[in-house]
């Protein structure tokens, strides 16, 4: 397989058509070696428009979803980011190249070790992985300029929104299969939030978050 051609095709055929047009992000995706963040058995799937299996039964989000979420955050170099769900560490690496620092929370120890090793191998020094239940966020280190939920939730906990700075943004994929929606919530003031629906997609559930009670017939 021609790795660089596959990477080019991923950007031009999957990511750019999904309205990811920020030149800096497209350039970052061209140089960040996505394949190095995957288990060896699945590296051939690094550039395919699909979720890719990871250790402990988890998976890596599709390239276009990661790219679009990164663009919609509109990160600045001085900002601090909290990620919930480390996965392979690839999203943390992308975030780290756009922000000052990234803390990624992963509830599964094996996956946290995998992600941390990938970040170290890639030379990403301003991102760290901690083994914690990300549903609670990281209140002792808050506030954060941006929070990313790298997976889906039934709803965004208010406790996470409270960990944003004024002007801070949170992005999450919210809802239930077969229809979920990526949403960006911006904190306008202490108790004022603005929510924007971004795009429809489907992603695996993040562990630890509450599910709404629903009647089933």
Only one residue has tokens 């750019």, namely: 16
What was the pLDDT predicted at 88? 97
What is the mean predicted confidence (pLDDT) over 133-156?
A: 96
Quote the Cα angle for 188-161-56, to 5°: 145
Q: What is the pLDDT of residues 64-119, one digit of tens each?
A: 999 999 999 999 999 999 999 999 999 999 999 999 999 999 999 999 999 999 99
Distance of CA 138 to the CA centre of its chain: 16
Cis peptide before 178 (omega within 30 of 0): yes
Cis peptide before 143 (omega within 30 of 0): yes
CA distance 36 to 7: 13
Domains of the chain plus CATH, in order, are 3-201 (3.40.50.150)
The SS3 assignment for 203 reads coil
Q: What are phi and psi of 155, to 5 degrees?
A: -160, 160
């Amino acid at each position: 397989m021609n790795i660089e051609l596959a990477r080019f095709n991923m950007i031009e055929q999957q990511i750019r058509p999904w309205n990811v047009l920020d030149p800096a992000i497209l350039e970052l995706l061209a140089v960040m070696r996505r394949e190095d963040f995957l288990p060896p058995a699945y590296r051939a799937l690094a550039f395919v428009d699909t979720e890719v299996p990871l250790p402990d039964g988890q998976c890596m989000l599709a390239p276009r979803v990661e790219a679009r979420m990164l663009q919609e955050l509109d990160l600045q170099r001085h900002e601090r980011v909290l990620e919930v769900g480390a996965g392979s560490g690839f999203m943390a690496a992308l975030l780290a190249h756009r922000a000052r620092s990234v803390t990624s929370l992963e509830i599964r120890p094996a996956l946290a070790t995998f992600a941390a090793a990938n970040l170290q191998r890639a030379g990403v020094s301003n991102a760290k992985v901690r083994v914690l239940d990300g549903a609670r966020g990281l209140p002792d280190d808050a506030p954060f300029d941006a929070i990313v939920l790298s997976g889906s939730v039934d709803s965004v906990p208010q406790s996470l929104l409270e960990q944003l700075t004024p002007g801070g943004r949170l992005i999450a994929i919210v809802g239930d299969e077969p229809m979920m929606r990526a949403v960006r919530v911006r904190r306008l003031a202490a108790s004022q939030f603005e929510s924007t629906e971004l795009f429809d997609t489907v992603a695996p559930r993040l562990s630890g978050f509450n599910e709404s009670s629903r009647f089933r017939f």
